Amino acid sequence: MASVTDARLRAALDRTRQVFGGMNVHPDESTCECHWGSPEELTLLKTPDAPLGVNLLYRTWVDVRWKDRDALLRRLLPQFTYVLATVGNGGRDQVGWSLARTEWRDWPKEQYEAVSGFLHAWWAHTLETANPPTPAHEVFATCATASGTVTPWLGQWAAHRGPIADRHLLEAVDAWIYDLESDVLPGDWWYWDDNKTAVTHELNAWLAHHAPPRLTALGAEPDLVDQVRRLGLPSEFAGASPPPPEPGTESHRPLGRPLATTSHPCAARADRERASPGARWRGQRRPPAHPRPGLRPHRPGRRQRIRPGSRHWSARIRD
C-alpha cells in the first residue's frame, strides 16, 4: 500500500491507531460463514492487532450481521482507515453506512475525536489531491452519511478553492445532477430517512450558490452550469429554462425568485387580493355566495328539495 505524505492525514491515522490499537471484537462474535468468511478468518479477526487482508477488511466492515458492531469497528479502525486513505473504498457505497449504524458519536471523547479527526483529514486530503484513491464525491458521501450531516463537509469544500477542488466539484455535479434535479439524493449512500428531504435541499442550495462560477472557470458546458443554477429555484421554476433578462433589468437575479417584470394594473390588483383575502370588498357590500341566497345551486347526483307552495312546486304540478 502507498505511503501517506499529508501531515494532517498521517497524524489522524496515527491517532486512530493509538486510540483503537489492541481492541478486540466480542468473544462470542460470529456471523454467516457462507456469506462472510471461514472459521480461520474469524479466529484472525478475534486476535487483537492481527493484520487483516484488504478484502477481508472490506467484507467485515460492510457486513450487517455482526452482533456487536461498535466493538467490531473499533477492532477494524486502525487498519481500515489506512486502507481508505491509501487504497480507497473499493467501490463500496456502504462504508459510511457501517459507521452510521453504530453509536460512534456517543463513544468516549477520545474515540469520537479520533474518528472525526480522520474523516475531516481524509476529506481535506482528497480535495487537495488530483487523483485520490476514492473519487471526491464518494468520500463526501461516506463522511456525510457517517456523521448524519452534509454541512461541515460542504463548508470544507467551499473553503478549498483551486483547480483541483473545482475539478472534483465538476465530477460530483456530473455524477449527481440528474438525481438532484428530481430532488432525490444521488445513489444509495444516505442512511438517515428522517431528514433526507432537508439534506437534499441543503445540497441543492449549496451547489446552486457555489458551483456555477467555479464550473464556469473550468470551462464546463453552459447547459450543465445552467442545470446546477436551477437547483436553487423553486420546483415550479426549476423545470424550465430561465427566461432572458428584460432590457434594463439585471442579468443576474437572486436564486429562488422569478425575474421582476412590469405588472399590468389588473395583475397588481390580483396580487394584492391574493395577499390579503377580502381586500377587494373591504368597505363595500360583499356580494352573496349565490345570486339567490334562498336557493341552493343544484349539485348532480343529489336530489334538490323543493319547498311546497313555491313557484318551483307550482311548475312541477303544472307539468
**Whether residues 100 and 27 fall in one domain:** yes
DSSP state of 298: P
Residue 88 has pLDDT above 80, yes or no: yes
> For 195-214, how does the pLDDT look when each residue is reduced to its tens digit (9 = 90+)?
788 899 999 999 999 999 99
Domain that holds residue 230: 161-235
Weakest mean pLDDT among 116-125, 133-142, 177-186, 259-268: 259-268
**Whether residues 12 and 111 fall in one domain:** yes
> For 20-75, how does the pLDDT look when each residue is reduced to its tens digit (9 = 90+)?
999 999 888 877 666 677 888 888 999 999 999 999 999 999 888 888 999 999 99
**Whether residues 127 and 12 fall in one domain:** yes
**Whether residues 101 and 210 fall in one domain:** no
pLDDT: is 261 or 146 the higher one? Answer: 146
Final residue belonging to a domain, choices 235, 262, 282? 235
**Whether residues 165 and 130 fall in one domain:** no
- Render 247-277 in DSSP notation, one character per residue: TTS-SS--TT-PPP-PPPHHHHHHHHHHHST
What per-residue string of b and e applies to 154-164 under the rule 16 or more CB within 10 Å gives b?
Answer: bebbeebeeeb
Please check whether residue 68 is in contact with residue 47, taking contact to mean a CB–CB distance below 8 angstroms. no
- Per-residue confidence (pLDDT) for residue 215, from 0 to 100: 96
What 3-state DSSP class applies to 123?
A: helix
**Whether residues 6 and 119 fall in one domain:** yes
CB count within 10 Å of CB 300 equals 4
DSSP state of 263: P
Residue 4 has pLDDT above 80, yes or no: no
Final residue belonging to a domain, choices 104, 139, 174? 139
pTM above 0.75, yes or no: no
Cell of 39: 472459521
**What percentage of the chain carries pLDDT values higher than 90?**
51
Residue 99 lies in a domain: yes
Distance CA 85, CA 126 (A): 9
**Whether residues 84 and 180 fall in one domain:** no
CB count within 10 Å of CB 248 equals 6
Residue 298 lies in a domain: no
Average pLDDT over every residue of 153-162: 95
pLDDT: is 105 or 264 the higher one? Answer: 105
Average pLDDT over every residue of 248-272: 40
Number of domains in the chain: 2
Residue 33 lies in a domain: yes
